[in-house]
Amino acid sequence: MTNQIKQFAFDVSLLVITQIVVYYGFKYVMSKLDPEQNEKSEITNKGNQAIKQLQLKNLKLNQYEKIVASEVVFSEQISEGFSDIGGIDKIIESLKESVIYPLTHPHLFNCRSGLIGTPKGVLLYGPPGCGKTMLAKALAKESGARFINLRLSTLLDKWYGESNKLAKAVFTLAEKLEPCLVFIDEVDSFLRNRNSDDHEATSMMKAEFMSLWDGLTTNNKSRVILIGATNRPNDIDLAMLRRMPKRFYLQPPNEPQRVQILKILLKDVALSPHFDFVKLAKDTQNMSGSDIKEVCRSAAMNPIYEYIRKNPSATSTPFNYSQEPTQDSQISQRLYRHVENRDFEMFLNQNDSSLLTSYNINNMDIFNIDQCD
Ligand SMILES: Nc1ncnc2c1ncn2[C@@H]1O[C@H](COP(=O)(O)OP(=O)(O)OP(=O)(O)O)[C@@H](O)[C@H]1O
Ligand SMILES: [Mg+2]
């Protein structure tokens, strides 16, 4: 009898051990077969680091939330604030009132019916290079809220159903981190018009995203806002657009706005005392903020080129790469003359075509709802 019991115990333990070996062996083989294994563990590590940096006690995340957590951006990592953006003071003021204050001072926006509070979606739209991405980053820096810079690649997974779980994780993580801003740049590519040709997995993910977003809209207490930026607002699905009721049109800058942008872009450049910002603003008509930045960059380098041409010896000695280059701009600026209006004229005459002029600004018209200029 005892022998039979012993034999039985031996068989059971053998069965258990073989099952465990098969389980872990299979898991190991599967992980080795997955070509994205290293990438995945890197993302999860990044997510774990972000969670540590958040210093939130009792924050427990599942594997999908950890992947999304790798997209959390901290305000210290962002260099641009509102003061670095020129010509959109009214939009900034409106964003502060409609987004930042309800997030940071929820007690002031308390209403049982949920009529008062944060909008659950904000859309920044306008022609390319007019500061949409820059504004969203500045918002992350100045709001003090946690910021998830959501990329489409984060949500895509080759396994069926995984994208849905990742989409869900965006919302569950944002709720755990609230107050939280979820930023989707070039939102048109993600939330574009749905049609019957869409891949099943993509349409399932979009549907999941929409219903989870609705959940936010119905939850009065939630302090999560989705912010989208696009230069193709007409491509966004109408149902998605409905979920972004607060819309800001970042239009090509007019003359006074260009003066402000120029003053910001040239604040650290040694300018001649007779420098005329208004004339330069007139000369940069039809240009976006990004075009103006490019013009400023080229013009500000003109005195350096001039100095090099006059002093060939300045570049003839081989550079010692082991030596740290001087970071003090004032020392190097003493070498060459101050930047003048003529530096810009030279450049503007060569490149008088702007990308913006060829861009059809009229295709933004139907969305001029919350336009602040
Ligand atoms: N209003 C502005 N004030 C200061 N700089 C600006 C402004 N608008 C644009 N810029 C400059 O142009 C660059 C590009 O801007 P940004 O990336 O925000 O454009 P965008 O609107 O997101 O364009 P796209 O639609 O192509 O993504 C910024 O990094 C900034 O240097
Ligand atoms: Mg952008």
Ligand 1 within 6 A of 124 CB?
Answer: no
Encoding tokens for residue 332? 């190097």
Q: Are residues 179 and 219 in the same domain?
A: yes
Amino acid at 50: A
Kindly give the confidence (pLDDT) of every residue in the chain, 373 residues in length, as a single tens digit, with 9 standing for 90 and above: 678 888 999 999 999 999 999 999 998 888 777 777 777 777 777 777 777 777 777 778 888 888 888 888 887 788 888 999 988 899 999 988 888 888 877 777 776 665 666 778 899 999 998 999 999 999 888 888 888 998 877 777 766 777 888 888 898 888 888 888 899 988 888 777 777 777 777 777 788 888 888 876 666 677 888 999 998 888 888 888 888 888 999 988 999 999 999 999 998 888 888 888 898 888 888 888 898 998 888 888 888 888 888 877 777 766 666 666 665 666 566 677 888 888 888 777 765 555 555 555 555 654 544 444 4
Q: Are residues 166 and 61 in the same domain?
A: yes
For residue 292, report the distance from its CA to the centre of ligand 1, in Å. Answer: 10
Q: Which of 333, 261, 354, 338 is nearest to 299 (CA)?
A: 338
Task: Look at residues 226, 250, 274 and tell me which one is the last residue of a structural domain.
Answer: 250
Encoding tokens for residue 75? 């305000």
Region for residue 117 given its phi and psi (left: phi exceeds 0; alpha: psi -120 to 50; beta: otherwise): left
Ligand 1 within 6 A of 129 CB?
Answer: yes
- Residue nearest (by alpha carbon) to ligand 1 atom 20: 129
What is the total count of domains within the chain? 2
Phi and psi at 354, nearest 5°, equal: -115, 150
Q: Are residues 59 and 206 in the same domain?
A: yes
At how many degrees (to 10) do helices 289-310 and 341-350 cross? Answer: 110
Encoding tokens for residue 318? 């081989």
Contact 123, 111 (CB under 8 A): no
As a whole number of angstroms, the distance between CA 73 and CA 146 comes to 7
- Residue nearest (by alpha carbon) to ligand 1 atom 11: 290
Q: Are residues 283 and 221 in the same domain?
A: no
Ligand 1 within 6 A of 233 CB?
Answer: no
As a whole number of angstroms, the distance between CA 327 and CA 73 comes to 27
**Omega within 30 of 0 (cis) for the link into 179:** yes
For residue 81, report the distance from its CA to the centre of ligand 2, in Å. Answer: 16
Task: Look at residues 217, 235, 250 and tell me which one is the last residue of a structural domain.
Answer: 250
Pocket test for ligand 1, best of 290, 295, 355, 358 (most atoms within 8 A of CB): 290
Ligand 1 within 6 A of 134 CB?
Answer: yes
- Write the CATH number for 114: 3.40.50.300
- Residue nearest (by alpha carbon) to ligand 1 atom 4: 85
- For CA atoms 168, 197, 200, 153, the dihedral sign is negative
* Burial class (CB within 10 angstroms; exposed 0-12, middle 13-18, buried 19+) of 81: middle
Q: Are residues 174 and 115 in the same domain?
A: yes
Ligand 1 within 6 A of 92 CB?
Answer: no
Q: Are residues 189 and 120 in the same domain?
A: yes
Contact 170, 205 (CB under 8 A): no
- For the CA of 127, the closest atom of ligand 1 is 25
Q: Are residues 136 and 240 in the same domain?
A: yes
From residue 313, give the alpha-carbon distance in Å to each of 86, 100, 303, 304, 308.
Answer: 40, 54, 16, 14, 8
pTM of the model: 0.80
Ligand 1 within 6 A of 231 CB?
Answer: yes
Q: Are residues 189 and 261 in the same domain?
A: no
**Structural domain boundaries, residue 168:** 51-250
Beta strand residue intervals within the chain, DSSP E: 72-73, 121-125, 146-149, 180-184, 224-230, 246-249
